[in-house]
Every structure is written in C-alpha cells, then in structure tokens.
Chain A
Amino acid sequence: MLKIMMGWSLSIVFLSWFIASFLAPTIGYQAVGIIFLISVASSGIVVSRRWVFFNAVLLSLIHNFFFIPPLYHFEIKSTQDSMMYLLYFLAAFFIGQLTSRLKKQKEIIEEREKRTLALFNLAHAISEASQMDEVLKVGKESLEKIFSAEVKVLLPKEGEIRKGREGAVCELARQSGKITGRFTLESSDAIATYFPLLIRKQVLGVVSLKLPRRESLTTDHIDFAQALVGQIASGLDREKSHEAKRKLEVLEQADRLFHALFDSVSHELKTPLTTIKGAASVLSSEQTLSHEIVSDLGAQIETQTERLLGVVGNMLDMTRLESGNLKPRISTYDIADILGPCLAQLHKQDSIQTDVASDIRPLKCDAPLVVQALSNILHNSLIYTEGTAIEVRAANCEKDQVEIEVRDHGPGLPPNPELVLQPFYRQNPEKSGGLGLGLSIARGFIEAQGGKLLAKNAPSGGAVFTITLPAG
C-alpha cells in the first residue's frame, strides 16, 4: 500500500515538474505555481492526505528551487515572490486536503451503498427462504461472505454450548441481549463477537462472528452486522409463526375428523341398538305374543346385531391398521382357503358366481386378512347392487402374482374410482349404513401383505375391484 501511494505521489510530482518546465518559458514562473496547485489538488483524488501533504511540500520546494529566482537556490529575493510562494503553498495544501476528504466521503458513501445492497440482498434471500433451516443457512452464508469471517449460529436447543471463556461470553450475549466479545465493550478479550438474535426483546439465539486475525470490526461494522443479524432474527420469527400456524391447522383438521368420526360412530351404533332395544322390550313384556311375532322380533334382533358387529368389527380392524401393529402371518394357501370361508360368511351367496382358472397357483398371504378384505369388498358390492350378479374371478397374472377380481353390475364408482378406497367415503350414506371404512380396511389389509387393491369402473358399467397378491 505504502509503495503504491509513494509511487503515485512521485509520478504526479515528476509529471507536473516536467509539464511546468516545458511551459515555464511561455507562462512565467508565477503561473507555474498554478500548475503545481492543480497537481496537488488532483493528487487528492488518488492518494491519501499524508501524501497530498508530501506532494505539496515537495512541489513547493521544486517550485522554489527550480523556478523562482534566484534559480537553483532556496532563497527567494523579492517579497512579492515570497508572498506568492507562501499563498500558493497554503492554497495547495488546503485544496489538497479538501479533495482528499472528498475522496474519503465518496468512499464512505460507496461503502454505505454496498452495505445497503448487502442488507437488501440478505433480506430478500431470507424472505425467500421457506424454512427455519434455510433462513439460518442463507443468513450464515451471507455473513460469512460479507465479513470473510467464520460464522456460527447457535440456537438454544442445539446444545452446542461452547465451553470455557467463549461459552461464557456467548451465554452472556444470550442472557443480556447485548453484543459481547471482541471489538465490543463487554468481554472484549474473547476470540469472537457474539450477536444476540433479538425479536421483540426475546433472545432466540446467538450468532458468533470470528474474524481472521488481522481484520477488525469498527463500530460502524458492528452496527451493520447487528442489522444483518436483525434480518436473520426476523426471518426466524416469521418461520416460527408459520410453523405454529401449520401445526394449528393440522390439529384443527384432526379435530374436525374426530368430530365427523364420532358423529358417524354414534349414529351407526345407536341405529341398530334402537331396533334391538325395541324388539327386546316387546319380547320381555307381559303380553302374550304369537309365535310369528316372536320369530319376527327375534330375526330383527339378529339382523341388527349382525349390523352392529359389522360396525364394531370395522372399527377394530381400522384400529389395528392405524396402530401400525398389524403383523401379517404369511403362509401358502389355495384359492379355496380364501373363497370358501369368505363366501360362507356372506348370506346372499346365490348372487355371487365364481370363476377360478384351472391352473391357478397358490397364494402367499395372510389368509384371515385376505378373507376379511375380500369379504368387505363383496359386502360392499352386495349392498349397492341388490339382486344383480356379482362375479368373482381368480387367475394367475404377471410377475408371479395371483389376481382376484370382483365385478358387479351396479351403479359403478365415482369418476375418480380410487376415492371409494378412502376411509369414511360413502357413496350413498342413507343406503349403506356403516362407517364407510370397509373398502379402506380392505386396502390396508392387502397392502400390509405386499399386495395391491385397485378400484375401477367397468366399461360396460358397474365396479371392478382387483386384489393382487404374490403367488406361492
């Protein structure tokens, strides 16, 4: 730096001397003073104040020695010349200082502009960051870049407590909300400087800034760093409240779902129980009842009990699935081991036709789960397609799998058929009764064993459910 400054100064001096020598015969030795004045003034643009002073002195000596009579002497004969000499020197000196200061001001403004831009960029980057981690990352990288320093962001939970003196200084920043450490008034013997992340008087954490050994932070720099840290803090604050909002939304959703489920379960349990209670109270009354009536009431109790068992069973199955504790016990079974129990469970077997491929392979599955799943599907179809035929087809399919397909000729599924496999979906709430869980349980049970359940609309109308399981 020194050498550069010196180089420039001397270049300016010798250049002006050269120009002056050249012009002196034409303009006279007093005017030379103006040339040197201009030179000193302009040197303020290039070099620092010290060197301006150096130039002023050097040039005035040159002026004196080489231009003012008597030549080649430092003596000045005429008083007029002495006054002129002094005045020129003073003028040069002051103007030089002024230009130097102007240059300095310009530098300061440029520095400020740079900082404002850096601040703006950081604020922008932080506002774009969508998660707390990203905010911290962006903030940290920006600080590192701007100050060429080692930056660490310390949030209370991370537990990265630095031990010893540094830890104590850091902790002080966190607790007092003041900037501590090197270059500050508080614990200035620390290695790094600690900036608390402040939002509304609450300290979220601490940002530590460790500069390379030679560098230092002025008060100006500290203010700037504090502004940057402030940006990071508000970014964090914003993300925190977003997260809180997100959590609240999830809770509200869960709450809504709970209420919907509760109402549904309430209804589904009370409806059959009302009939059962009614029938039972008639049966237990004093009055003499005909055999027909007794039979009828008994049958009603049985039907409604079956319905209740269905609802309870579904709820239990759903709980098993949701608990994540469902452990399928896989073994090899013939299709007969699945179809037999399944069809035996359903009452309206006559509307169900089976078509099993003669070369069908055994299935690798958990039989009770598959039976329940297939049962749920058939039960669903039976409800929606009163009377019309339901076909159950079983055959081998690609990739070492076996397919069981249930096809009905009822009203079919909604345009987005997969919807029916969602929990609580009911196509026709008045008709179906139940909680709308049957099909979603079926899918849960099948998928838990590594199988697949797909729902589609048949081109000719009606629904098609396809279970795919590995072949044994």
Chain B
Amino acid sequence: MPIRKRILMIDDEAAIRKLLRTAMDAQKVEFFEAASGKEGIAQAIAVKPDAILLDLGLPDQDGIEVLKALRKWYERPLLVLSVRSQEETIINALDQGADDYLTKPFNLNELFARLRVAERHFDKQESLVLELPSGVKIDLTNRLLTKNGEEIRITVTEYEVLKVLVRNQGKVLTHRQLLHEVWGPNSAEHVQYLRVYVGHLRQKLEEDPNNPKVIITEPGVGYRMIIPD
C-alpha cells in the first residue's frame, strides 16, 4: 500500500479544519491539525508532514514567527492563509519562506492547485517547455522562444526574468524575490526595472498584453506565471 501523503493544518478555527479534513479524506490524504502555533510546531516535528498550511492569524503567536520557526528546519512546501487586504503581511510571509498564500475565504480547488504547484517546485518537476495560448512556445532547455514556429527576439535580462518565472510556474513571486533571483541581493530599488521587463515580456507572450493571462499581477504582492493547461 502506498504511503499516504500527510498534510498539517495550523489554524485556530475548528470549522475550517473540519472542512479541510473532509476534503483531504476524500483525496485520501492523511490530515493532521493544530489549533495554535505551539501545537503546530510540535505536530510538525512529530508528524513530518509533506506540506503545511499555516494560518497567519493565530491567537497565541504571530503567524510569521511560527513560519520563521518552522522554516529553520522544515524545507517542504508551506502555504500561508490570510484574510483580506493584508498584502504587507503576505509579502512578509513569502519573503520569510512561505511558498504561496491563499486569502480566506478561499476556493478549495485553488488550495489544492497551489499545493500541487508548490510540491512540483519542491520536487523540481517544473516543465521547462511551455506552450502558451498565444501560440508562443517557451523552451528553457534550448533557451529558445518561438511564436508559431518563428523565433522571437528576447534580451538577456528579459530571458533571465522569464526563466525565474518559468522555474516558479504557478507560484507567486514577490518583487523582491524576482529581483533577488535576477539582479542579486541589494537590488530592491530596481523595482521599476522589473516592471519594465515584465511589460516587455507581456508584449511578447500575451494575447492581450493589457489583460495578461500568463504573467498575472497579484496586486500589492507580486507576479505569478500561470501554467497553461
């Protein structure tokens, strides 16, 4: 019998834990729960889950602190749950090591999708060849970009940005994370460059650059590259 996947949820709300338990049971996932930060950390150590769902609004401790404590040794996928209009907290969480986030009330399908993305990223299973709805094909293995068979010209930096996005496909990336990956540390001031390069990429990759569906903006948080189905 294959070993079941284990997921740990740290959230003080009993109702939401119950809901997730039902959903996870349906997916044949072993579900563990904790109602506080302290309990969560203890459970994580005991259970060693494959992924963790962490609510940022915990009663006993600041969710970010729990995140930092976990990330000291836990390397696997970790998603944070927040409430509306908490962009700053979310950015903070992502910078502190969370893989992605969800805003309550969230769609369960979306939760599972993002969990999958995070796992794929962890297992380094991202596809390096993507075919987009606009007819553009991204081939990172051959460092090539084509549209309907014809090569598209792309600058070095544009490619670097695209590479980071593709490698993190489906996951949210904060501006800082992108800048760090492309321009190295101490590059936080170059946020405007990032915007310009993303603009160029959208021009090349999107069907409607003004209504992007591939490189989407998460307002106030960052960018996310959507994997085409």
Contacts and interface: CB of A to CB of B under 8 A. Distances in A.
B211 interface: yes
Contacts of A329: 87-88, 220
A357 to B, nearest CB: 10
B21 to A, nearest CB: 17
Contacts of B155: none
Contacts of A343: 211
B82 to A, nearest CB: 13
Interface in A292-348: 305, 309, 313, 316, 320, 329, 331-341, 343-344
B72 interface: no
A344 B198 CA distance: 19
A280 to B, nearest CB: 13
B217 A336 contact: yes
A331 B100 CA distance: 22
A343 B212 CA distance: 10
B27 interface: no
A332 B196 CA distance: 10
B149 interface: no
A371 B105 CA distance: 19
A351 interface: no
A367 interface: yes
B140 interface: no
Contact of B192 (A332, A335, A339): A332
B211 A320 contact: no
A332 B210 contact: no
Given A309-B105, A354-B210, A356-B210, A337 B217 contact: yes
Contacts of A332: 192, 195
B210 A336 contact: yes
Contacts of B198: 334
B87 A368 contact: yes
A341 B218 contact: yes
Interface string B20-54: 00000000000000000000000000000000000
A98 B122 CA distance: 123
Contacts, number: 58
Interface string B206-229: 001111110011111000000000
A313 B85 CA distance: 10
A313 B217 CA distance: 21
A341 B219 CA distance: 7
B84 interface: yes
A436 interface: no
Contacts of B218: 341
B144 interface: no
A344 B216 contact: yes
Interface string B191-210: 11001001100100000111
B216 A340 contact: yes
A451 interface: no
A362 interface: yes
A114 B199 CA distance: 85
A341 B217 contact: yes
Contacts of A338: 219
A344 B211 CA distance: 9
Closest 9 CB pairs of A and B: A367-B219, A337-B217, A356-B210, A368-B219, A368-B220, A340-B212, A371-B219, A336-B210, A336-B212
19 contacts: A313-B84, A316-B84, A316-B85, A331-B191, A332-B192, A336-B209, A337-B195, A339-B211, A340-B210, A340-B212, A340-B213, A341-B216, A344-B216, A354-B208, A354-B210, A362-B195, A367-B220, A368-B85, A368-B87
Given A336-B217, A338-B219, 10 more contacts: A305-B105, A329-B87, A333-B217, A336-B210, A336-B212, A337-B219, A341-B216, A354-B210, A367-B219, A371-B219
